[in-house]
Structures are given as structure tokens and as C-alpha cells.
Structure 1
């Protein structure tokens, strides 16, 4: 029986309860076989959503590789602006590559096969091996976080460069991009390093895809998301 569901009765037009074979009838069908809740619909759709995501990232990888080959091979396209575009393309490439790699290597998105005990528990959760260092999966998660943050920062660098090119140097395309390159790849290192240190000292759990402390997820979320939000705004 499912105690969180409801039993129903039918009221006749004359104000009496419906009776079946001389006894008052009650519908207990929801208690015995409840309708699947809305989250289960999302759960059933996750494999399709994941497949669509992987296909999209794969198409992006191929397109980005072709774009980089074109920009590198044609000398006439070599200029500071296109060089900056190439860095942006590389950041998108790293994000797509690390996302696909993490999805392919991790079991249920939580850890590498050598970090998880099989078979899984009754609730479908694969338990971690408590005596395993898990440094490989932590490294993958850290690089994935770096690729994600770097991608957003390079979108910011692209916008800053175009802004400065239009308003500060409208008649020249010779603006140095060294500072943009340093900021685009360097700032994400600072952000992810802070996240890694916070993980080590505040919530060093298995592959850094799960949490033990109830307050840790929000704090760790802010470490990465605040710089991303600032870069977007």
C-alpha cells in the first residue's frame, strides 16, 4: 500500500455513497498502483535528452575542428581578431570534449568504474569504494570544470575585444591580444583552483560529484557560478 496516495468514493446525486453489491464502495486503486509522479517522467526522458546532448556536442566538435583548420591553414585569415576567435573556438572544443569524455567514462555521472562497487544498491545508486583514492576521477571533474569556466571567460574576452576595437581603436585591427589570452585562460585557473581547494578542505568526497555536508553544494556552486554569472553580465 502507498500511504501518500488517496482513496476515493463516489457520491450519488441523492447524496448517498455509491454501493457495490450492497456494500459501500471505495476506490483504493491509487494506493495499490499509483500513477507515476512527474519526476519519473523526467527520469524516463533522461536517456533521450542525454543522447541528444551528446550528438549536439559531437556535431560541435566536428564543426569546431573544421573551423580551426580553415583559420590556421589560410594565411589571409591570420589577424588578431581571428586569432582571438580561434581561442574562443578552442574553449568551445574543450568544453564539448570534456563533457563527452566525462559522460563516456563516468558511471551514472558520479565516478569512474574503478571507483565504484558493483553491483549497484537496491535504489540504483552505485556505492563508491571507500578505500580508493579516486584521484583520476577528481582530475577529470576538475578539467571539466576548467573547460566550462574557460568557455564563459572566452566569450567575455571576445566581447571585450570587440568593444575595445569599436570604441577605442575604430580604424585599426592591430590591438594586442596578449592580455586577453592571459585573462581568458588564466582567470579560470584561479576560479577552478579555488573550487579544488574548497573541495579538498570542505567536502572531499569520492569523485567530487557527490556531497556529504548539506551546506557544501551551495557554497561550492557559488565559487564557480559567481564568476560565470559576472562574465555573462
Structure 2
């Protein structure tokens, strides 16, 4: 918990009682602020409507942005219940906050000149268990993991894309589709990094005055992180449907032209970049109408999340079926071409399998039926680890397999390098 020394305005109070960088803090902050407003309004109503004491010295009723204090007789210690807007109120509902009314009818002050108040019974437990500390460290490790993964993938994919587009002899439908997949990985990596930066910027802004609360919770303040969230969802879907295009293209080559002409690239382009719009746009509409809160990072109703989840699962399952079909075709062809050479074709089949897995995104099938609602505890952390690790480093693997390890690419790079050396030697000898 982030702590501050004094609570002068409501926003300081909220910042005092809420975690600063948790993703869920948006929802907690909004709910706490609304409850605080209700508590404040009730207190102001009491201050205006309750009759004044008729005789004797007393400390005046007041609202100090934390608790509501009634008129109190001089010389008495005043105890009132902990405010109900505290996020942990259920744990401290029996506690109380105290003030001392002095003998002269003024609220007692401490050495700093501030009105003294004891809210120790209303504080959240500061003791952090080893399990909670482990969970926090695990979240930081996960974020570091996928940040490194996406950054590495981003660099290698950009280099691979430049190579595929720079050499004329590498220009063909197959490499265009590979380049399309590289672009989807690049945009996905950029979208994830930007989304994290926007979320941290939204919740990490400095809070100085009361107006900052309304600004922080306003829809205008969330536009940036919402836009980043939408772009990330689109890029993730586009990445999956570029996988789908790769699977369809390879299957059409091995079997027949079952979907489209192999020499045409435009339909694959529409499949990869057009299909996600059919799902992202309805999801945005539902978010605006039903869950228009903060940065849209929280899925309160998981039924709405299926608008994004379903096309991902559908593409992954179809890719898996195509993957199995292609393996069967490759197996039959290798057996036919390698009569009596069983170990050889078995090795080549294993190599083809390992190459196709990242190309088709088959790893997604491992957790197709392990949804967020069904996975808890250790199983959830295992799923999150493998999903983040494979997804973030997958771009790096794809770039290596389909560019840097490609024999035609290596041949063109060697030819270009030899040409550069020859030109350099000619220039040096000419001088």
C-alpha cells in the first residue's frame, strides 16, 4: 500500500487507501470514490439538519475528509465507527476512529498543529504474508518475462521482414504470407508494450488536488488506454488469423486449390486483417454500452469476453485439425519417397512437425479448454506462464525458422555479401 503522511483532500485519502499500480485499482478506486461521496453527502446533511446543543461547551460538528464528527461535549473522547467506504470495511466494521474534544471546546491538536485523530482500528492489516509477497513477485516476473520476449521478437521480426522484402528473388506468395505473419507479430508486440505503458501512465499519474479524482475517473482520461486495449485485441486476433492463412495456404499447396488461387495474396490479406474487425467492433460496442469503465482491462461479465475469445479458440482448433491433416500427408509422401529408409523419413517427419507447430500456433490448443474461469491456484499460474512465454517468444522463433534458417534466404544473403565484398575490393583497387 502506498502511504502518505497527511490526508487533506479526498484524493489524498483515496491514494492513501488504495494500491497504486494494480490493474484492478481502477475498479476499486471508482467504487471507493463513489462510496466516499455518499458518506460525505450524508455527513453534510447531518451537519445542516441536526439541532445545535442548547448549553455547555462543545466541539463543533465537522467532516475532515476521513470521518464525520458530531457535536461533542468538552473534555470527552469521541468514538465513531470506521467509515463504510473503506475497501476493507468488512474487516474493521467493529473498529472505531477517535478524536479528543478539549476542555475549552476545541478539537485537540497534535504537535504539528493538525487535529489529532486515532484511526489505528480502521487501518488495513499491514502485515504481508509470504504467499501474498510470492504472488506479487510472480506478477513482476511474468511481466518481465513477456516484456523481454516481445522486445526480442520485435527486433528479430523487423530484421526478418526487411530481409524478405529487400531481395527480389525472395518475392513470392509464400514469403508474402510469411511477411504478413511477421507484421502481425510486430504489431502484436508493439500493441502489448504500448498497452502496458498506457495503463501505467493512466494509474501512475501524480495526484495533487481534489479535481484529479474526477479527471482520473473520467472517460476522457481513459481514452488513451482504452484505445491501446482495443488495438491490442485487434492485433492479437489478426495474429491468430494470419496463422490461419498460413495453414490454409500450406494445405492448399499440398492437397489442391481448395480455398483460393495460390498465386493470389489479397484473399489471405483479407482473412488475416479483415476477419478480426468482425469481432473487435462488436466487442467495443458491448464495452461502451455494458462495461464502459476505466481502461476496459477488467472483464466483469465473462460472457462479453467470449466475443474475443471465441474467434481465437476457433482459429486455434481449425489450425490444429489442418496441422494433423498436413502431418498425415507429409507422412504418406515421406513413406512413398523413402522406401526402406524408415529412420530417415521419421526424422524428417519430426523436423516438419516441429517447424509447423509455431507456424500454425498449435500450442494454443494446449489450453483451449482451460479457460480463465476454470483455472485456479497453481494450474492458473502454470497456464499464465506457458501462455506468456510461448506467445512472447513465438515471434522470435518464427523469424528464425522462416527467415534466418531458410536456405534460400541464406543463399541470397551470402550472394549479397559476396557482391558487397567484390564491390569493395574493386573500389579499393581502383583507388
Q: Of 18, 42, 46, which residue of structure 1 is paired with 2:135? A: 42
In the TM superposition, what is the alpha-carbon distance from 1:220 to its structure 2 partner? 2.2
Contact 1:117 1:129 in 2 (8 A): no
By how many angstroms is 1:148 displaced? Answer: 0.8
Gaps (5+ residues) in structure 1?
5-31, 120-125
CA shift in 2, pair 1:144/1:33, >3 Å = closer
CA RMSD of aligned residues (A): 2.9
1:5-41 Cα shifts (integer Å, max 9, x gaps): xxxxxxxxxxxxxxxxxxxxxxxxxxx9988364541
State how far apart, in whole Å, the 1-side matches of 2:312 and 2:262 are: 29
Shift of 1:127: 9.5
Structure 2 CA distance for aligned equivalents of residues 52 and 76 of structure 1 = 37
Which residue, 206, 211, 216 being the options, matches 2:294?
206
Which of 285, 294, 319 lines up with 1:197 in the alignment?
285
Q: Deviations over 1:31-60 (max 9, x none)?
A: x99883645412222222211211111110
Summarize the Cα distance change of 1:128–1:39 in structure 2 as closer, same or farther, 3 Å threshold.
farther
State the shift of 1:105 in Å.
2.7
The alpha-carbon distance between structure 1 residues 128 and 228, as it changes in their structure 2 partners (threshold 3 A), is farther
Which residue matches 2:235?
147
Q: Aligned partners of 1:190 and 1:103: how far apart in 2?
A: 25
Give the Å deviation of 1:138.
1.3
What are the superposed Cα offsets for residues 121-140 of structure 1, whole Å, 9 maximum, x if unpaired? xxxxx997233422222111
The verdict on how the C-alpha distance between 1:221 and 1:58 changes in structure 2, with shifts beyond 3 A counting, is same
Number of positions where the alignment pairs a residue of Structure 1 with one of Structure 2: 187
State the Cα distance separating 1:86 from its structure 2 match: 0.5
TM-score, normalization by structure 2 = 0.40
Deviation string 1:49-85 (CA, Å, 9 cap, x unpaired) is: 2112111111100100010010010110000010000
2:155 maps to which residue? 62
Aligned residue number for residue 112 of structure 1 = 202
* 1:152-231 alignment runs, 5 A limit: 152-169=240-257, 174-210=262-298, 214=300, 216=301, 218-231=302-315
Is 1:198–1:220's contact at 8 Å kept on the other side of the alignment? Answer: yes
Change (3 A) 1:72 1:33: closer
Residue deviations 1:145-170 (CA, integer Å, cap 9, x gap): 1011111111111101111111015x
User: How far apart, in 2, do the equivalents of 1:174 and 1:221 lie?
Assistant: 35
Q: For 1:112 and 1:35, locate their aligned partners in 2 and report how far apart those are by CA, in whole Å.
A: 26
* Map of 2:216 onto structure 1: 129
In structure 1, the residue matched to 2:145 is: 52
Aligned to 2:185: 92
Contact 1:117 1:128 (C-alpha < 8 Å) held by counterparts: no
Change (3 A) 1:226 1:127: farther
Q: Distance in 1 between matches of 2:129 and 2:217?
A: 34
What is the CA–CA distance in structure 1 between the aligned matches of 2:182 and 2:241, rounded to whole Å?
A: 12
Describe the shift of the 1:39–1:223 C-alpha distance in structure 2 as closer, same or farther (beyond 3 A): farther
The TM-score with structure 1 as length reference comes to: 0.71
Deviation string for 1:185-205 (max 9, x for gaps)? Answer: 001011110110110111111
Contact 2:147–2:193, Cα closer than 8 Å, also in 1:
yes
Task: Describe the SS at the equivalent of 1:129.
Answer: helix
Deviations 1:76-118 (A, max 9, x none): 00000100000000001111111111122322xxx6258x673
Find the aligned partners of 2:267 and 2:219 in 1 and give their Cα distance.
41
SS of the equivalent of 1:209 reads coil
Q: 1:99 to 1:154 in 2, by over 3 A?
A: same
- 5+ unaligned residues in a row in structure 2: which ranges? 1-90, 92-124, 318-431
Q: 1:38 to 1:63 in 2, by over 3 A?
A: same
| Change beyond 3 A, Cα 1:128–1:52 | farther
